[in-house]
Structure 1
Amino acid sequence: MAAGEKTRVNEKTPEGATNPPGYRAIPIKFTQDQASCHFLYVKQHRVRGGAKSGWPSDRTLFVLNVPPYCSEGCLAQLFSACGPVQSVSLHEKPDLSEMPKTTSSEFFSPKSVPGFQVAYVVFRKPASVPKAVALPGPLIASTESHPVKTGIEKWIADYADSLVDPEALRVEVDKFMEEYDKKAAEEDAKAEAEEGVPDEEGWVKVTRKGRRPGLPRSEAASLRVLEKEKRKKARKELLNFYAWQHRETKMEHLAQLRKKFEEDKQRIALMRAQRKFRPY
């Protein structure tokens, strides 16, 4: 290491956790009787200069290493001692978009993969953020007043949440289809308005809707079309695929020729008997 070069040393909490640069570790336990602690890494939410964010920087606490058993309600309860919490949002990774991602549907929203997540805790007052960063801990996730469901109770609750109300689902689907039909009608109207109108370069957009509609078919015309399709389908079928089918076809054809020859001989003999045979 060159002389005079400074290294950045991570701070350590009294509990032995290492703070990443810019973050503070807050110990958390699932229950009061738990011996070991889990650590949440928190800091005030800030964005780089020129970047936009939907989270208010002066009232938002950014939390890393959120365990799977900490839900949004659990985090709101943990940080409620610092001040009233406006909202809590969990994400699989830091949300770098301008606005927080919100799903308009409770039935068709993608389910998050359970695991460690990050959280954005928005307080109602800016003074609550420094208090949350300075929390001594350890925080207790599951208490008697606000227990966190585990085991079979959690499975039963998850199963109950997975059941969908058919009436609410029908209302949402009908609403979605109405919006879709309205959007499709607007697009069709826009396409009809633009059809036949040249653009800036002089090109004219031609669509299938611009074709002249054909006349309705009569019953006889429909039957002719069906017969034509039937003949076309029959031609496509593989006839006499095997060698024995070829032999049987030739034998049947030869038998028909012999039968026809005998019938012609009898007809000629009958005509001779009636003296109506005039070869010349």
Structure 2
Amino acid sequence: MVATIGDYAILPITLPATPAFPTQTTHTLYLRPHAPKVPTEANERSLFLVNIPVDSTLAHLRAVFAHLLGAAGRVEDVIFEGEKRKSSTALMEVPKTKIGDKGSKKRKRNTDEDTETPELPEVWDRTLHRSGSTAVVVFVDTKSVEAVLKALRKLHKSGKESKYPVWGAGLEGKVPELGSVRYQAHHALRYPDKKALQYNVDAFMTAFNSAEERKRKEDKKARNVPDEDGFVTVTRGGRVGPARREDAEEKRKEMEEREEKKRKEREGEGFYRFQVRERRKKEQGELVRQFEEDKKRVEKLREAKGKRGLRPEN
């Protein structure tokens, strides 16, 4: 068997016979040192795996590398494709890739927002991966990575299939079973205990409302803050958590008072347009009448003043 393909070392794994496939076969795993564009503190002690079996678990991969290294406990963590972890060793999503693909791969860092909302109860006791999935295996030190690659070279030189790691060896009873047992467990997990479910829902909604409230405050703050070019960001109000009963009652009273005030104004001024026009005409007529009365009063004062000013000559 070829020892490498491109930058990847080849790790053959023996898949034992099962009731669904009663023939022993060999599965090929590809691995290389992990070198993402976004560096992390665990890069130098990590291996990037391609084409992991669909039923892979942390226990399975630990057993495989324990077989190669001759000692258990050298694997610190495994991050599967699409899986998010809070651990400092899992600072990115595992990228999708193909063997021999050296192009750029987008990776996304985890943020606090991604892990802030509590997860709802799981309905599967074991995760299955799509065919050809990837994973990152983090070892306890750099020497373990070098030892794995060295053990692979020896494995290929020997050419003995009997030395291949056996998938699932020694894990009987340590990982959830597949087949009909898996679906029976799934059916049971779909109906969790009422108290446990209520606790998860309450925790989820509390975190969700907190995030919405924080976003609302940030949007409100950004409404009047111009950016570098002097433009103000246009934002829309977000959803908030349910109000207290006292707050809701106070808000209802304020709305009723506002509606009552508008109603009285409409009754006093007239609701229809012709009523508004008639009222304005009446006001204008009253102003003209007062103007004419004032004008006549001024004329009378002038006449009275003129008569008092005339005196006979001596």
CA RMSD of aligned residues (A): 4.2
Alignment check: 8 A CA contact 2:95 2:107 kept: no
Unaligned segments of structure 2, at least 5 residues? 83-93, 97-105, 156-162, 238-253, 264-314
Of 12, 16, 39, 1:27 maps to: 12
Q: Find out whether 1:107 has 2:107 as its counterpart.
A: no
What is the identity, as a one-letter code, of the residue corresponding to 1:63?
A: L
Q: Distance in 1 between matches of 2:214 and 2:226?
A: 20
Name the SS for the 1:73 alignment partner: helix
- 1:272 match: none
- 1:151 match: 179
Q: Distance in 2 between matches of 1:88 and 1:64?
A: 13
Of 162, 179, 199, 2:207 maps to: 179
Q: CA deviation at 1:131?
A: 2.1
- Using a 3 Å threshold, how does the CA distance of structure 1 residues 216 and 43 change in structure 2: closer, same or farther? same
Q: Find out whether 1:122 has 2:138 as its counterpart.
A: yes
Q: Distance in 2 between matches of 1:71 and 1:199?
A: 50
Q: Distance in 2 between matches of 1:161 and 1:89?
A: 24
Q: Distance in 1 between matches of 2:147 and 2:235?
A: 65
- Using a 3 Å threshold, how does the CA distance of structure 1 residues 65 and 191 change in structure 2: closer, same or farther? closer
Alignment check: 8 A CA contact 1:53 1:97 kept: no
Q: Distance in 2 between matches of 1:164 and 1:146?
A: 26
- 1:71 match: 57
What is the identity, as a one-letter code, of the residue corresponding to 1:140?
A: V
Q: Distance in 1 between matches of 2:35 and 2:231?
A: 51
Deviates more, 1:135-144 or 1:151-160: 151-160
Of 136, 148, 153, 1:132 maps to: 148
Alignment check: 8 A CA contact 1:66 1:119 kept: yes
Post-superposition CA distance 1:131-164 (Å, at most 9, x none): 2233434111122454663433333344445554
Q: Find out whether 1:89 has 2:75 as its counterpart.
A: no
Q: Distance in 1 between matches of 2:231 and 2:46?
A: 54
Q: Find out whether 1:60 has 2:28 as its counterpart.
A: no
Of 248, 257, 264, 1:215 maps to: 257
Alignment check: 8 A CA contact 1:66 1:116 kept: yes
What is the TM-score normalised by the length of structure 2? 0.49
Deviates more, 1:132-141 or 1:150-159: 150-159
Alignment check: 8 A CA contact 1:67 1:116 kept: yes
Q: CA deviation at 1:67?
A: 1.3
What is the identity, as a one-letter code, of the residue corresponding to 1:138?
A: Y
Alignment check: 8 A CA contact 1:88 1:121 kept: yes
Of 175, 191, 198, 1:170 maps to: 198
Post-superposition CA distance 1:14-62 (Å, at most 9, x none): xxxxx32111111112228954211111111123xxx314471111111
Alignment check: 8 A CA contact 1:43 1:61 kept: yes
Q: Aligned pair count?
A: 197
Post-superposition CA distance 1:57-95 (Å, at most 9, x none): 111111111111222321122223435211112116626
Alignment check: 8 A CA contact 2:12 2:164 kept: yes
- Using a 3 Å threshold, how does the CA distance of structure 1 residues 174 and 20 change in structure 2: closer, same or farther? same
Q: Distance in 1 between matches of 2:49 and 2:8?
A: 9
Name the SS for the 1:122 alignment partner: strand
Alignment check: 8 A CA contact 2:118 2:203 kept: no
Structure with bigger RCO (C-alpha 8 Å, 6+ apart): 2
What is the TM-score normalised by the length of structure 1? 0.54
